Structure 1
Amino acid sequence: MIVPVNLAQEIVDRMKEIINQDINYIDPNCIIIASTDRKRIGDFHGGAQVVLKKKGMVAITDENQFIGTRKGINLPVYFDDNIVGIIGITGKEEEVSKYGKIIQSMTEILIKEAFIKEQSKIERESKKQFIEEVLFRINDEDKETIRIRSELLNVKLDIPRVTLVARVQQVKKRKMIDTAVNNYHIYNFINRYIDYDQQNLLVQSGLNYIMILNMNTTNDLIGLVKKIYENLKHEYNLSICFGIGSESRDDAGIRQSFEEAKKSLMVSLLYKKRFYVSIFDLDLELVVNDLSEKAKYNYLFKVFKYLDEEQLSSYIEVLSTYFRNNGSIMKTADELFLHKNTLQYKLNKIKTVTGYDPRNTRDLVVLYLAVLIYKSEGAYKTFML
């Protein structure tokens, strides 16, 4: 293993905080690649040669004893029984020797931890690429490649699985979470609840977190979803919505379950008070999602043709909240922070510009379908072009 310069520098800086002595990290070529005394970085260290031959500690009692050395002690750093570097502590031998074994052991531990973390990152990225290939590839010509890769990654595709798609939002109408740091923490948070089985898979794709769970070991799927939802809100003040697909037993089934989970998620996002929706909960939503893009456009044009983008966005929010609260004026007004008379005015305005009255049962169905179509994947962008 080659220890990266940035890791070596991090190690010596941390070690100095503990013992308050200058520390060097020397690579197997006897070059100081990291030091708390920055002027020494890049220098040749003759004492390191002796450490490599002796495979043990070497004390420097005279600064002219070896090329590029100062008084102190130098010890080999091992990883998997191989010397990957030398750690040097500058100072009088009698003062620094007491730190030798401790600094040596801590350095080896930090290198091992960094290696494990890097391997975990590589494995995570490999699985992410594999899952994305399974979910998003268009043809079935490379089934053999998928099979081989699944075996190499120890991902079993022929076991009962359910795919969930989740999206995280901050509570109280704040901006959606999309920074790299937050995504990393959210990923690890969710992973804590599903890493009881190595066959449980988690990847992040855009704003969504995709979970592909082994149903042989997931005894209470809804209980698991509730636990993630409640604890994420408690610990981070974040809200999460889930879409749940049907059970699958091969790569084609996983893709179908994923598409179902995406449809379910869109409904969960529409009805924010329902933080999870299963494909089996859908009825009209299934019809909407199976419409062609042309049919969706024509329907939206029929209902919303006289609205500009700003008006449309405003009325969609009003209608979504109105539907979510089953037509309750009081609850809708409270959620939108409006006076009930202001809400009544907005509903009357929607009737005027669209020709459909949200308080009329038949017209309500027309508007409800329009909102579902508007919020379906890609429909909004197509309509606003």
Structure 2
Amino acid sequence: MMNVPEALAQVIVDRMKEIINQDINFIDVNCIIIASTDQKRIGKFHGGAQTVLKKKDMLVITSENQYEGTRKGINLPVYFEDTIVGIIGITGSEEEVSKYGKIIQSMTEILIKEAYIVEQNKIERESQKQFIEEILFRIHEEDRDAIKMRSELLNIKLDIPRVVLVARIHEKTNKKSPKTPVINEKIYNFIKRFIEFDPQNFLIQSGMNYILILNENSVNDIKGWVENIHSTLLKEYKNTIYFGIGSLSHNEDELSESYQKARGALKVALSSKDLFYVDYSELDLEVIIDDLSDEVKKKYLHDIFKNMDERSLNDYMELLSTYFRNNGSIMKTADELFLHKNTLQYKLNKIKSVTGYDPRITRDLVVLFIAVLIYKSEQSGNPSML
């Protein structure tokens, strides 16, 4: 039998009072008032509820304490799936409150049913999230039969072509207030509305990331679909969302691999100022860098930039990144950085004197370009590299 939570019962009686402006009680099946618009009555025994439970019908109380702990009014059984789960009581004379009885009874039953559906959806969502995380993260290995059985129970087909996407909302460092759970839920529901057209599309939130598992057959143009989410979110919430797109998968092992690739692609997207999505299949040098250990990356930057402080390193990286993005054009780089071209030349000479590598020479340029990629990659996950 369903137990109506006290918090839900209190919401119901408060909402009903707004409609009819009468004191209302919610009594549980143990005949205890668990919610009331008269706070002094909460926790008290209600003798009339016993009669309602026995008769399964409305009870009119015509005088104070006609039954233990009662006042004048009407009391009606509240049903959920043909079972009484409580009693709703309206305080007042029969003439005042009888006209509201059936309406309040029906509205209470509707609110309880809606709350139950919401709770069941939460349970289903959490069960799907747990199963998908186990598949993607390989929290523990299960035998194939167990995986297959759980996927069938949760209606998650693992043998259809799927693509994993990992997304993250851009966090502005100057933003004073962090995202609250309410805002997180709004963004979750915003993204979810783009995938609800196919029951085999799934969305879970893991830390700062939103993980989308898409049925490849239902999304013909993933990049166009991603662009639509990005532009709509920017318009509605004034926030930028970044995506990493993984590889095509056909089973749970490949699904886990697709997730890892999507995560790597997202890392590249977050480190770039120009791209809000990155497809792992289109990466080349970034893939090699992503496979390097943190120790190797740290040593590479240290060998080139020695013991440079973070601020100076960041300034040089910004300059080099802009220089590479403009294919070595002094004029375009200077314009983008609001520098005189002679000042830019001076700064490039300074990089050469500090590192021993000249970004205007092809061989040296490659060394510095890799350093920029490593720095950007690690900045998205590990701000301190030197």
Using the size of structure 2 for normalisation, the TM-score is 0.90
Taking the aligned partners of 2:176 and 2:330, their CA distance within structure 1 comes to 26
Aligned runs of 1:320-331 on 2, under 5 Å? 320-324=321-325, 326-327=327-328
1:311-339 deviation per Cα after TM superposition (whole angstroms, max 9, x unaligned) = 33444444445544555667667776x55
Counterparts of 1:237 and 1:322, CA distance in 2: 29
Distance (whole Å) between structure 2 residues aligned to residue 227 and residue 83 of structure 1: 48
Structure 2: tracts of 5 or more residues without a match? none
**CA 1:364–1:22 in structure 2 vs 1: closer, same or farther (change >3 Å)?**
farther
Indicate the residue corresponding to 2:303 in structure 1.
302
Distance in 1 between residues matched to 2:270 and 2:39, nearest whole Å: 53
User: How far apart in 2 are the matches of 1:128 and 1:362?
Assistant: 48
Deviation at 1:219, TM superposition (A): 2.3
Q: Could you tell me how far apart the structure 1 residues matched to 2:290 and 2:126 are?
A: 31
Q: Which residue identity lines up with residue 181 of structure 2 in the other structure? A: A
SS at match of 2:127: helix
Q: Does the CA contact (< 8 Å) of 2:162 and 2:213 recur in 1? A: yes
| Cα deviation digits, residues 147-190 of structure 1 (max 9, x gap) | 22212211111110001111111579757964322221111110
Would you say 1:36 and 2:41 are equivalent positions? no
Q: State how far apart, in whole Å, the 2-side matches of 1:172 and 1:139 are.
A: 36
Pair 35,139 (structure 1): closer, same or farther in 2 beyond 3 Å: closer
Kept in 2, the 8 Å contact 1:300–1:383? The answer is no
- Match of 1:75? 76
Deviation at 1:140, TM superposition (A): 4.4
> Which stretch of the first structure deviates more once superposed, 172-181 or 199-208?
172-181
With 101-110 and 302-311 compared, the bigger mean Cα shift is at 302-311
Count, aligned residues? 384
Q: Mean Cα displacement is larger for which, 169-178 or 49-58?
A: 169-178
Residue type of the partner of 1:242?
F
CA contact 2:47–2:69 (8 Å) conserved in 1: yes
Consecutive unaligned residues in structure 1, runs of 5 or more: none
Amino acid paired to 1:22: D
Instruction: Tell me what 1:268 maps to.
Output: 269
CA deviations over 1:269-321 (Å, ceiling 9, x no partner): 22232211111211111111222334323212222322123333444444445
* Correspondence for 1:119: 120
Counterpart residue number, 2:65 = 64
The residue aligned with 2:165 is 164
Structure 1 residues 174-323: aligned runs within 5 Å? 174=175, 178-323=179-324
Q: How far apart are the structure 1 equivalents of 2:66 and 2:176?
A: 63
| 8 Å CA contact 1:293, 1:379 repeated in 2 | no
Aligned-residue identity in percent: 66
Contact in 2 for aligned 1:15/1:103 (Cα 8 Å): yes
Question: Does the C-alpha gap of structure 1 residues 14 and 290 become closer, same or farther in structure 2, counting only changes over 3 Å?
Answer: same
Preserved CA contact (<8 Å) 1:374 1:380: no
Aligned pair in 2 of structure 1 residues 137, 371: CA closer, same or farther (>3 Å)? same
Cα distance, 1:247 vs structure 2: 0.5
Name which of structure 1's ranges 367-376 and 141-150 shifts more when overlaid on structure 2.
141-150
Question: How far 1:87 sits from its partner (Å)?
Answer: 0.8
Contact residue 271 and residue 324 of structure 1 kept, 8 A: no
Mean Cα deviation higher: 237-246 or 176-185: 176-185
* Contact kept? 1:167, 1:241, Cα under 8 Å: yes
Length-normalised TM-score, structure 1: 0.90
Letter aligned with residue 256 of structure 2: R
In the other structure, the counterpart of 2:137 is 136
Quote the Cα distance in structure 1 between the aligned partners of 2:70 and 2:373: 73
- Equivalent residue, structure 1, for 2:17: 16
Q: Within 2, Cα distance between the matches of 1:345 and 1:65?
A: 96
Report the AA paired with residue 158 of structure 2: L
Q: 2:70 & 2:120 partners in 1: Cα distance?
A: 35
Distance 1:37 1:327, change over 3 A: farther
Distance (whole Å) between structure 2 residues aligned to residue 301 and residue 176 of structure 1: 35
Tell me the secondary structure at the aligned position of residue 193 of structure 1: coil
SS class of match (1:65): coil
Change over 3 Å in CA distance of 1:204–1:175 after alignment to 2: farther
